[in-house]
Amino acid sequence: MFADLHLHTQFSDGTYTPEEVATLGQKFGFAALALTDHDTVEGCARMAAACAAAGIEFITGTELTAEHDGNELHLLGYFVDPLNPRLLVEIGQFQTVRQDRVREMVSRLNRLNVPLQADAVFALANCRSPGRPHVARALVNAGLCRSLDEAFEKYLKKSRPAWVPKKKMSAREGIALIHHAGGLAVLAHPGLNRTDEVIPHLVDAGLDGIECFHTKHSPAAVQHYLRLAERYRLLVTGGSDCHGLSKGKPLIGTVRLDYRHVEKLKQRLAGRKPTIPSESP
Ligand code: AMP
Ligand code: ZN
Ligand code: FE
Ligand code: FE
């Protein structure tokens, strides 16, 4: 039995609906799937229903944008309660920041005489957690760029003229928020981060696991992070980070996490003290 614990949908910057992801998950024979849209849990209810219909176990999740020492890192939160009030308030603030950031990117483009409208981006994104990929798609749809690559290269990449930094929570706050919402905090794709030096700091802040298996991890990187997981007694996760079609094919199906790791996640949760009842809705 296998799982894919890193998937995106239209509720952030993926192109598939939750139903399409569940159907693909069924086609590839997955026993369990987790939805990890950026800074949101908006798609979890639909994904849960679609997975139930497809006979797949669904794990609620999110991918929080955080930072440590000025470096961006992504924290996966698994088994979070998607109705937890504090989670919804805090990610709501980051969603507002993302929406303001889209407006700022559009004003910068307008100053460069690129006549994109913010409403065109919001209509296309149609979710609370818009990002640069939506701006890039809107530029292509409006005929203002030939490709997504061109949009990033000319305008949206870091240090390009329409690049706007994102406000991020500290990694420590992100881990605490995931724990508060009843979840497990996992460092996403550490192989894409600038350095491993952050890992002991995150462990000190209560990190539960690291994503050893990821589309962009080489076999050597996988082995390296499996060893680090053992050294720091961290849980092991993995997923494709599928955002839709990549070079004509979906990434879902390319990373298959042994279901035993999902069982270990559940064992870790079961051994944890319940969250404070007075803070429940
Ligand atoms: P954001 O969270 O709004 O900063 O957008 C980050 C997302 O943009 C990443 O998850 C990637 O999917 C996408 N992205 C970043 N750089 C590029 C690039 N050079 N070309 C295409 N997509 C990119
Ligand atoms: Zn993404
Ligand atoms: Fe990520
Ligand atoms: Fe991701």
Q: Are 60 and 44 contacting, i.e. CB atoms less than 8 angstroms apart?
A: yes
Q: Which domain holds residue 146?
A: 91-156
Residues 149 and 207 grouped into a single domain: no
Type of residue found at 116 = L
β-partners of residue 186 are 76, 209
Burial of 232 (0-12, 13-18, 19+ CB in 10 A): middle
Rounded to the nearest 5 degrees, what angle is found at the Cα of 117, between the Cα atoms of 111 and 120? 150
The pTM (predicted TM-score) of the whole model is: 0.93
Residues 108 and 225 grouped into a single domain: no
Contacts of 248 (CB under 8 A, 6+ apart): none
- Ligand 1 test: best mutation among 97, 132, 147, 215, most atoms within 8 Å of CB? 132
Whether residue 251 is contained in a domain is answered as yes
Residues 73 and 183 grouped into a single domain: yes
**Which segment, 67-71, 182-186, 276-280, is predicted with the most confidence on average?**
182-186
**CATH number, domain at 96?**
1.10.150
Whether residue 187 is contained in a domain is answered as yes
**CATH number, domain at 24?**
3.20.20.140
Residues 67 and 192 grouped into a single domain: yes
Residue 98 CA: nearest ligand 1 atom is 3
Residues 18 and 101 grouped into a single domain: no
Residue 279 pLDDT exceeds 90 = no
Residues 184 and 266 grouped into a single domain: yes
Candidates 141, 199, 181, 172; CA nearest to 272 is 181
In this structure, is the dihedral angle defined by the CA atoms of residues 71, 74, 80 and 82, taken in order, positive or negative?
positive
Residues with CB under 6 A from ligand 1: 13, 38, 131-133, 148-149, 152, 157, 166, 243
Residues 183 and 244 grouped into a single domain: yes
Confidence class for position 246, pLDDT limits 50, 70, 90: confident
pLDDT at residue number 274: 65
Residues 206 and 70 grouped into a single domain: yes
Residue 134 CA: nearest ligand 1 atom is 3
Confidence class for position 277, pLDDT limits 50, 70, 90: low
Whether residue 161 is contained in a domain is answered as no
Residue 278 pLDDT exceeds 70 = no
Q: Rounded CA gap, 79 and 237, in Å?
A: 13
Mean model confidence pLDDT for the chain: 94
Residues 214 and 102 grouped into a single domain: no
Which of the 8 DSSP states describes residue 37? -
Confidence class for position 206, pLDDT limits 50, 70, 90: very high
Residues 184 and 72 grouped into a single domain: yes
User: What's the total number of domains in the chain?
Assistant: 2
Burial of 269 (0-12, 13-18, 19+ CB in 10 A): middle
| Closest ligand to the CA of 149 | 1
Residue 65 CA: nearest ligand 1 atom is 2
Residues 125 and 242 grouped into a single domain: no
Whether residue 168 is contained in a domain is answered as no
Whether residue 25 is contained in a domain is answered as yes
Structure tokens at 231: 């050294």
Confidence class for position 176, pLDDT limits 50, 70, 90: very high
Burial of 218 (0-12, 13-18, 19+ CB in 10 A): exposed
Whether residue 102 is contained in a domain is answered as yes
Residue 171 pLDDT exceeds 60 = yes
Q: Rounded CA gap, 49 and 42, in Å?
A: 13
Whether residue 163 is contained in a domain is answered as no
pLDDT at residue number 248: 82
Residues 107 and 188 grouped into a single domain: no
Confidence class for position 212, pLDDT limits 50, 70, 90: very high
Q: How far is the CA of 152 from the centre of ligand 4 (A)?
A: 18
Whether residue 10 is contained in a domain is answered as yes
Q: How far is the CA of 228 from the centre of ligand 2 (A)?
A: 25
